[in-house]
Amino acid sequence: MKNNSQLPDIRDLSYPKLQALFEEMGEKAFRAKQVFQWLHKERAESFDEITNLSKPLRAKLARDFSIGRVKVAEEQVSEDRTIKSAFQLADGPVVEGVLIPTSKRMTACISSQVGCSLSCAFCATGRLKRMRNIKGYEIYDQVALIADQAQKHYRAPLTNIVYMGMGEPLMNYKGMMESVELISSPDGLGMSPKRITVSTAGIARMIKRLGDDEVRFNLALSLHAADEEKRSKIMPINETNSLDALARALAHFREKAKGELTYEYIIFKDFNDSLEDARKLAAYVSRVPGKINIIEYNPIDDADEFERSSIEQVDAFAAYLESKRIQVNIRRSRGKDIDAACGQLANKNKAAVKA
């Protein structure tokens, strides 16, 4: 018999493949439904927990498959009640996720890749080597564990999910889509796709694919500059995904998909915080309307060229956009004291790069 850690994870099987497996084993078709619910809704950690299967069938499944649950390796609670978790995947790597509590919502910020390959200049995760994509069920596990934290610490249900942790979700399209399906399934967490936001650094062809797939979740574009030269300076991906290409892809998304569109804009002192920058941003957003989230910059190691804009400058920037009848939210950072704020994930967690 193989070591359990070497066995394929049964959750790699989609529901139709699970049905085919039980048919091959000469079992009734409804066994697939039972096992699927135990694996996802009930989050069984071993086949012995699936008590409505016979012991011989459980033993056969345990011989051929594993259930490699994601575990919380470390948990840190911020002074503002934000909780950052180091999640250990079954094969060893560590990624990070965050629970962001407010008076109106409980939001899970989750990771889609181990590391990242995009190298955005202001982001700690971008300084890590991308090791692999996170599988759909591993993303699902992160959400479920953060939902547990919300109940345990704040006695409140999870209300929102943002794919804004480590990695680029659209470069893990299969895993991201599978996780959304599990999260929104009645046999999973049963959350509405309208409560889910997927954030991208901007990959035009994949944004178009979201439209073609008519997704129901929301999309956030990490824009950070509405000027080609400035955006390319801080986000190398802009060199192959121009602002014009992104605008056309976003228009396709808005036409075909059901979700809302948000522009994320980290504001840096003396780089993208002038009224001229605000004017360019307003003009760009007018092409494909959406709301704008202005985000405070959170310092990371080895990025001394960036500083946080003053409150006065941020307010003036936002006021200009509002004068153009654009919906604007200023997002104040949460969890800065534990490096859980936007752009800081993996800043201090050296375990995140270990295999």
| pLDDT per residue as tens digits for the range 277-286 | 999 999 999 9
Pair 25, 77 in one domain: no
Residue 69: other Cβ atoms inside 10 A:
20
8-state DSSP, 76: E
Indicate which residue of 109, 116, 120, 342 is catalytic: 342
Pair 42, 181 in one domain: no
Pair 90, 138 in one domain: yes
Closest CA to 248 of 196, 211, 198: 211
Catalytic, 75? Answer no
What CATH number is given to the structural domain containing 51?
1.10.150.530
Pair 46, 93 in one domain: no
Query: How far is residue 206's CA from residue 253's CA, in Å, rounded to a whole number?
Result: 10
**Phi, psi values for residue 142, rounded to 5°:** -60, -45
- Please list, residue by residue across 4-21, b when 16 or more beta carbons sit within 10 angstroms of its beta carbon and e when fewer do: eeebebbbebeeeebbeb
Q: Determine the pLDDT at residue 327.
A: 97
Residue where one domain finishes, among candidates 13, 47, 64: 64
**Phi, psi values for residue 196, rounded to 5°:** -115, 135
Sequence-distant (6+) residues with CB within 8 A of 123 are 116, 300, 343
Where residue 345 falls among pLDDT bands split at 50, 70, 90? very low
Region class of 119: left (phi > 0), else alpha (psi between -120 and 50), else beta: left
Q: Determine the pLDDT at residue 354.
A: 35
Comparing 355 with 214, which gets the higher pLDDT?
A: 214
Place of tokens 């002038």: 274
Query: How far is residue 38's CA from residue 10's CA, in Å, rounded to a whole number?
Result: 12
Residue range of the domain that includes 117? 71-353
8-state DSSP, 112: S
Lowest mean pLDDT among 44-53, 175-184, 302-311, 319-328: 302-311
The answer, yes or no, to whether residue 44 has pLDDT greater than 90, is yes
Determine the Cα angle at 142 with ends 136 and 145, to 5°.
140
Residues 314-344: pLDDT tens digits? Answer: 999 999 999 999 999 998 765 555 454 454 4
Outline where 128-274 has alpha helix (H): 136-154, 173-184, 204-212, 228-234, 243-256
Pair 167, 309 in one domain: yes
Pair 205, 308 in one domain: yes
Residues 59-110: pLDDT tens digits? Answer: 999 999 999 999 999 999 988 899 999 999 999 999 999 999 998 999 999 9
Is 73 exposed, middle or buried (CB count within 10 Å of its CB: 0-12, 13-18, 19+)? middle
Pair 29, 76 in one domain: no
Where residue 347 falls among pLDDT bands split at 50, 70, 90? very low
Pair 40, 89 in one domain: no
Catalytic, 96? Answer yes
Lowest mean pLDDT among 2-6, 21-25, 124-128: 2-6
**Mean pLDDT, the chain, integer:** 90
Question: In this structure, which long-range contacts are made by residues 52-57, counting pairs with CB atoms below 8 Å and at least 24 apart in sequence?
Answer: 57/25, 57/27, 57/31
Sequence-distant (6+) residues with CB within 8 A of 249 are 204, 205, 207, 208, 211
Q: Determine the pLDDT at residue 124.
A: 72
Residues 183-198: pLDDT tens digits? Answer: 999 999 999 999 999 9
Single pTM value for the model = 0.90
The answer, yes or no, to whether residue 352 has pLDDT greater than 50, is no
Where residue 122 falls among pLDDT bands split at 50, 70, 90? confident
Query: How far is residue 324's CA from residue 321's CA, in Å, rounded to a whole number?
Result: 5
Pair 25, 94 in one domain: no
What are the C-alpha distances in Å from 347 to residues 124, 143, 306, 332?
Answer: 5, 21, 16, 19
Query: How far is residue 33's CA from residue 52's CA, in Å, rounded to a whole number?
Result: 12
The answer, yes or no, to whether residue 350 has pLDDT greater than 50, is no
Q: Which whole number is the average pLDDT over 161-173? A: 95
For the record, the structure tokens of 170 come out as 């659209």
8-state DSSP, 269: T
Pair 58, 77 in one domain: no
Closest CA to 130 of 139, 142, 138, 119: 119
Q: Determine the pLDDT at residue 138.
A: 98
Indicate which residue of 74, 75, 96, 229 is catalytic: 96
What are the C-alpha distances in Å from 25 to residues 28, 31, 50, 64?
Answer: 9, 11, 17, 12
The answer, yes or no, to whether residue 181 has pLDDT greater than 60, is yes
Outline where 163-272 has alpha helix (H): 173-184, 204-212, 228-234, 243-256
Q: Determine the pLDDT at residue 69.
A: 96
Q: Which whole number is the average pLDDT over 32-52? A: 95
**Phi, psi values for residue 259, rounded to 5°:** -85, 170
Count of domains observed in the chain: 2
Pair 279, 320 in one domain: yes
